Amino acid sequence: MLYNNKSTQQHHDSHHHCQGECHNIAHNHHQQSAQSADTHQTQNSVASVGRQEQDSSAKNDISDPPEDPERQSQDIKLIWKIQGMDCAHCAKKIENGIKTLPNITHSKITFSTEKLVVLVPQKDQKIIKQIEDKVVELGYTPIFQSSDNHADQHEHSHIIDKKALLPLAILGVLIVISYLITLFNHQAGQYAFIATAIIGLIPILKEAILLTRSGTPFAIESLMSISAIGALFIGAAEEATMVIFLFMIGEMLEGIATNKAKKGISSLAKLMPEETVIIIDGKRKTVASHSLKPDDIIEISSGGRLPADVILVSEQANIDESALTGESIPVNYLYGDKILAGSLVVDNTIQLKVISQAGQNAVDRILQLIEDAEERKAPIERFIDKFSRYYTPAIALFALLVILIPPLLLGEDWYTWIYRGLTLLLIGCPCALVISTPAVITSALSSAAKLGVLIKGGAALEHIGSLKMIAFDKTGTLTEGKPQVTDIINRGLAVNDLLAIVASIESGSHHPLAIAIVDYTKQQDITFSEATNRKAIAGIGIQGELNQKIYYVVSPNKIDTVSVPLLNDDAKLIERLENAGKTVVVAVTDQALLGIIALQDVLRTDAKPAIKALHQLGLKTLMLTGDNQRAAKAIAGQLGMDYRAQLLPADKLVEIEKIGKTTTIAMVGDGINDSPAMKAATIGIAMGSGTDVALETAEVALSKNSLSSLPTLIRLARFANRNIKQNITIALGIKLIFLITSLFGLTGLWLAVLADSGTTAIVTANALRLLKVKK
């Protein structure tokens, strides 16, 4: 079997002699000539933090959601799982109903995860019962949750609720009986249809009254009740009965479609095993997964899923991450590597150390992001919400005018215009329009999560689909971020002695170039000791003392400030190396050049195909780097993209802001120094291996840490935007057609209710196509 080989990536901190990123990656240091003692101490503390993150941090590669009322408040948070919701409109009914209750600070319901969150001043059974009674009164089933743990929310959901079929079946049988009675006795048949309509109308009317009392007077139930009662009063009992029957069928179809959409989200929660084997003092014990704590040692057998974010304790393991990243080929992890919750163990039994708190693993973070996404509505979604608040009352008023004006002013027949007015009333329900956008966004977010892309809300999704340009940081984003020593040219001393001197001065530094030189020296089995009096020379380089002699490691263009000028031959050699895309540092004393060392960062294997795919999608690409012009030109040339070189973090910010004035642009990065530019861009995209600051700043996180996810993300976002436009066109188009035909008497109550429920089912089914998007 073929496997991806995932080597342990080293988390590079910014060099503490530099402001976030070297102006020239070849050691143009910018600060701290007077703070050398503090420098070394700070570097050690950063290294310690880095080790803690590698070994036991509970942080995930998914950022925390933004602050909201439930995080800022000191109130008690109560959580329920709500069963029986068919659409986002149902969720709004519950939220409005809860807000009418006393002692409620804040309420929020998320349709996609069926979670109701209520903030109350204090927790007591009276308030809990009051909330549950209101939810039951509205026709839904609340299940109290003891904790905000998504993994606890397992349930066996069915696409069709068999209990919901019973009222529909009874009404259908009664309609058939009424029709048969009509064949033998027309008058008795009319009474049978009236009785059947009343039986079918009772639960709908009851819910309409409850919704009106709860602050939702223009719900579809209210409009249906008025139309059905009106039809009975004008003697159209058969049509009143069929309207109710078709409405119930439409509600069932809508429920089937939306349950499929919710399954895409709930399948993520089901990745979490309910029980896990934990090892305590060498003994194995089965415990509930939600009880796991950081530093617990667990054992997972082949075919089992990880219940938390973990660090591998065993020597190696092959892990299937397809449910989280979309990558079908198992990844080979080594001792000490971090693995995300929900991943599947492929081959043998392994031991792992838990690093995430309960309810804070990768799967929980994804579900939390999807929940918070409903708060970050897309601009088009906010417009539709506002439009629908005025649409239904406006149609209801128009229907009233249609009923009154022709008979009163024009002497027309009352029966005809009451019938047409009632038909128009059914068209006033905005269900299809309201659900047209959130259904698409929920499906798209779910599909993206399965492909290893986490998107923070509908607004971000809409912006991604409109991008014209994508800017990239170079180091760690387009390249591996691991420079390698390629050339060593010695002058006046042996190569080993040159490497020993440079490694002594660079020892302890966290800069990628320094790490590369020190590691290379160790690989050559060259012994060295750390130099004394090491300190940065602002904007120039670094110096250190060995055997009472001062040595400098600097960028070639700064050599004049600490030593004699370069000879022409050496200058030409350095120019050739830099033209080849290499970064050069020189080791000198105040009197002579000791040697030249060239390093080069290699491109990520997925960089070329990803950039090519983006170009094929019509996007422009740009590389922003602090590296020198020649090195930047060489990397950009390999990728066929534009570039800007020798940029400080502040310069990157200015560049993004300038471009952002004329076009939509995304910024892709992985470090703290990328965060300002990511924040200024239309969309910030963070690599999964990036710093927490970068992940929190970004609107999108590539959890798979792969650039190949980018073209997939763009295609998905564009598909979602097209889908939203299609849904809005379908919803408004059908409404407009039936508005005109109903006004002129071409369509009746039957077709009006069928059009309403049918349109809702069509736009939901159209949105479900996003769940089938593959790489």
Q: Contact, 637 vs 605, CB < 8 A?
A: no
Q: Which two tokens stand for residue 653?
A: 């910010």
What is residue 116's three-state secondary structure?
strand
Q: Which two tokens stand for residue 770?
A: 């996003």
Q: Which two tokens stand for residue 365?
A: 């973070």
Half-sphere exposure of 723 (CA within 13 A, CB side): 30
Q: How far is CA 271 from CA 144, 312, 313, 448, in A?
A: 22, 19, 22, 16
C-alpha to C-alpha distance for 317 and 533, rounded to whole angstroms: 45
Q: Which two tokens stand for residue 552?
A: 């400098």
CA 568 from centre of chain:
54
C-alpha to C-alpha distance for 675 and 649, rounded to whole angstroms: 9
Strand 350-354 versus strand 310-312 pairing type: antiparallel
In this structure, is the dihedral angle defined by the CA atoms of residues 64, 68, 74 and 80, taken in order, positive or negative? negative
Nearest to 627 by CA among 727, 725, 512, 546: 512
85 residue type, one letter: M
DSSP code at position 547: T
- The active-site residue, picked from 473, 601, 674, 756, is 473
Q: How far is CA 463 from CA 124, 227, 600, in A?
A: 44, 41, 35
Nearest to 368 by CA among 512, 475, 268, 462: 268
What's the 3-state SS for 460-475? HHHHHHCCCEEEEEHH
C-alpha to C-alpha distance for 650 and 530, rounded to whole angstroms: 33
* DSSP states of 612-642: HHHHHTT-EEEEE-SS-HHHHHHHHHHHT-E
C-alpha to C-alpha distance for 52 and 58, rounded to whole angstroms: 10
C-alpha to C-alpha distance for 579 and 599, rounded to whole angstroms: 13
C-alpha to C-alpha distance for 42 and 36, rounded to whole angstroms: 10
Nearest to 309 by CA among 322, 326, 292: 292
Nearest to 328 by CA among 433, 230, 450, 423: 450
Output b/e per residue, 195-221; b: 16+ Cβ within 10 A: ebbbebbeebbebbebbeebebebbbb
C-alpha to C-alpha distance for 214 and 515, rounded to whole angstroms: 65
In this structure, is the dihedral angle defined by the CA atoms of residues 417, 423, 424 and 428, taken in order, positive or negative? positive
Please work out, in degrees rounded to the nearest 5, the angle formed at the alpha carbon of residue 346 by the alpha carbons of 343 and 351. Answer: 75
Q: Measured between alpha carbons, how far apart are the two ends of the chain, in Å?
A: 21
Residue 326 backbone zone (phi > 0: left; psi -120 to 50: alpha; other: beta): left
Q: Contact, 361 vs 298, CB < 8 A?
A: no
687 residue type, one letter: M
C-alpha to C-alpha distance for 598 and 169, rounded to whole angstroms: 80
Q: Contact, 755 vs 734, CB < 8 A?
A: yes
Query: Is 473 marked active-site?
Result: yes
Burial bucket for residue 633 (CB in 10 Å: 0-12, 13-18, 19+): middle
In this structure, is the dihedral angle defined by the CA atoms of residues 762, 765, 766 and 767, taken in order, positive or negative? positive
Q: Contact, 329 vs 367, CB < 8 A?
A: no
Q: Which residues are catalytic?
A: 473
